[in-house]
Amino acid sequence: MYKVNLMLADSAQCYDGKLSVLGGGWSFIIPGGPFAVAGIIDIPWSEATSWHTFRLELIDADGEPFCVQQQPDEEPKPLAIDSPPYRPNIAPHVKPGMSLGWAFAVNVPPGLPLEPGKIYEWRPFIDGHNDEGWSLPFSVLPTQPLQQAA
């Protein structure tokens, strides 16, 4: 079966099948600030020649999809990120039985209207399947009122 490792980072990118992460491995974000969701999906050898899909959904503290309004005159829609279909390249050094890594990175621009002090979760789906252990819960730091100088 698949194995999924997710993390929050300041930023991330993928190149040549590798994941490059800057400031990764934390569990909170600054309200309205940019951040990245990055990770590696281990694809079992038995699935190596198949095409795979990946979807990442943002879920609120009530377990409901987090919705955003794309255009002022549109209804809010669940925030979900879909990757293009993927099929692993099997390099010559890869032996039968090994799992194959699929790196991904999603950089979230500033301004995502997440509520300070709340908990959210990134929920991944591979080929339409989700496993509870794959999710990445995180919190949004509460905003602190500015204190006046004495």
In a domain, 74, yes or no: yes
| CATH number of the domain residue 102 falls in | 2.60.40.1930
**pLDDT in tens for each of the 150 residues of the chain?**
889 999 999 999 999 889 999 999 999 999 999 999 999 999 998 898 899 999 999 999 999 999 998 778 889 999 999 999 999 888 788 888 888 999 999 999 999 999 999 999 999 999 999 998 999 999 999 987 656 555
- The model's pTM: 0.88
Maximum CA extent, the chain: 69
- 147 within some domain: no
Picking from 53, 46, 127, 48, the residue whose alpha carbon sits closest to that of residue 89 is 48
Q: Which helix (H) or strand (E) holds 112?
A: none
Q: What is the C-alpha separation between 117 and 107, in angstroms, rounded?
A: 22
Our measurement of the distance from residue 48's CA atom to the centroid of its chain's CA atoms, rounded to an integer in Å, reads 22
Count of other CB atoms within 10 angstroms of residue 39 = 26
Domain that holds residue 111: 3-140
- Count the domains in the chain: 1
Distance (Å, whole) CA 145 – CA 52: 46
Helical ranges in the chain per DSSP H: none
